[in-house]
Amino acid sequence: MSLQPHHDGSATYVPEQEPALGQTVPVFVRVPVGAGVDQVYLRTTGDGEPRFAAAVVDRTAGGDVWWRAEVEVRNPVSNYRFLLDGAAGARWLNAAGTAGHDVPDHGDFKLVSHAPPPAWARDAVIYQIFPDRFARSAAADGRPAPDWAIPCDWDTPVIGRGPETSRQFYGGDLDGITERLDHLERLGVNTVYLTPIFPARSNHRYDASSFDTVDPLLGGDAALVRLADAVRARGWRLVGDITSNHTGDAHTWFTDAVSDVHAPERELYYFDLPGSDYESWNGVTSLPKLNWGSAELRHRFATAEDSLLRRWLRPPYGLDGWRVDVANMTGRRGADAYTHEVARLLREVVAQTRPDALLLAEHGHDHTGDLDRDGWHGTMNYVGFTDPVWSWLRAGDDPVPNFLGTPGGVRRRDADAVLATMNAYRSLVSWRSYTHSWQLLGSHDSARIRTVVGDAARQEVAAGLLATMPGTPVVFAGDELGLTGTNGEGSRTPMPWHRPESWDRRTFEAYRSLLALRRDEPALRHGGLRWVYADADTLVFLREAPTGTVLALARRAPGVPVHLPGLPAADNIYGGAPALHPNAPLPADGPTFQLWRARRGPA
């Protein structure tokens, strides 16, 4: 194995996973015998002042020395790192790895004493549904298309670009989802995430005209109750989608504000601005921006007993949480900086209303400054997972549009750059925030993974990373069938229920098998993450837990055999490679994803 000292926030290294303020928590660092380390010191920064304490040897096992130290949870977020000293010289070990030079504190390990996310979230496997394109019940045929819509039958091609994209209306509804839950059961998910379900003037419904009712085109409030009951009957969870940054310009709050300059709704938005009538999301005038400096907005949106945030968490609907749209921009405009206040407020209200509810933030770029407070439980990890996986596995020479439109699209990168990207974002948040963030291969806002990687073999590698790395895996409906799409609009593809011959059965079986392994292997849900090898085409890592260890190999192309000294004997549990024996090479074929379970405890 790699002779690198290691620590992460998993239970192997931090046995107390929910520390309380004022508690003293033991932490362990693992140092290979041959690493040239004679002494380990713990550095903490309680109340902003650095302090050092000598660690002690706890045990020696499997060629590693395990050092123990004690961290006082002095502040709501308590930073710590290790100083490794000895024949190899003095080095820091922080969340980014080892360094022979001084490093800033923001990369330190973190213990967070804010109330933890709901326990169920660590075991969640999420299925994202865009309701207009998932399934139609028989009742949908009796609903006339709205005046804003371009009616489409289920086989009408999706328009990927242009003003008509948001107007294509396929008529999927909530009862259609309820009727198809057996498909989700076969796949192996346990949480359903719905993009917005409120009335609007678009197929995506992010331009809500009201938060008070479910869109009648989806079956109304009663259909949501039927879906929620069916989801709960299977022991699953149901997560909704709320827009905290804006409403639609047809929303009653906004129309009241426009019709009367003295209306109380006027303060909910930004009006009378130089050069424009009002602020909107990225200049899209149909999406007027909410002003979180308004006490009235905070009351209506969150704190009122009948607020929209509370209503849908309560029976008979009982949503299990919210994914918060455009959380990165919520409360931010010029000198206004309410984002962290809003996140704290929404979490407080959610916890009061439903203590086991999740609050997850959308963030398309650097999210690290918005986590580890008493706000969002986690984020959609586009930058720390989606983008690097895309850049490593992308196929073809045509540009692939990236989420949020990076010029030139997705660049092709080797595994060292991919690993550096993943580690950079992971190291700047706590293990808790990292493991409670959503890992995804794509969504309704991005290209489809099959279009990015080009074929089933590489998609299987991507799905393997999705199912086995830390974090909450999210499957965008249709990815498991091999559906394609070049951008966010084009990927909102109707599910081909009536054309089962078009399904990529190999891809479905890969997703099903990998998700089953995640469910059955505690190390894949709760274990640490230790990278042990990377070359341009290969990534090898361990998921380690007190219950055992799983070794993963991901290859995008054939390469040379990988020899890892000290590799434990292990049995293959995915991919069909032979069992591993000590000092045996890892397979060289590819693209491939392979998993082995070690025959003994943590490696």
Specify whether the CB–CB gap between 288 and 282 falls below 8 A.
no
Question: What's the order of all strands across the beta sheet hosting 358-361?
Answer: 378-379, 358-361, 321-325, 237-243, 191-194, 126-129, 472-476, 438-440
Rounded to whole angstroms, how far apart are CA atoms 2 and 7? 14
Token pair in block for residue 331: 């409360």
- At residue 122, what are phi and psi to the nearest 5 degrees? -65, -25
Buried b / exposed e along 511-529 (16+ C-beta atoms within 10 A): bbbbbebbbebbbbbbbbb
Look up 147 and say whether it is catalytic.
no
Transcribe 463-503 into DSSP letters: HHHHHHSSSEEEEETTGGGT---SSTTTT-PPP-TT-GGGS
Q: Spot the catalytic one: 173, 362, 480, 489.
A: 362
Q: Spot the catalytic one: 221, 249, 325, 460.
A: 325
Look up 398 and say whether it is catalytic.
no
- The crossing angle, in degrees rounded to 10, of helices 456-468 and 505-520 is 20
Sign, CA dihedral 400-406-411-414, equals negative
Contact partners, residue 100, CB within 8 Å, separation at least 6: 89, 90, 91, 92
Sequence-distant contacts of 215-218: CB under 8 A, at least 24 apart: 216/143, 217/143, 217/146, 217/171, 217/173, 218/131, 218/172, 218/173, 218/174
**321-325 and 358-361 beta bridge pairing:** parallel
Specify whether the CB–CB gap between 507 and 460 falls below 8 A.
yes
Which of helix, strand or coil describes residue 24? strand
Which residues form the catalytic set? 325, 362
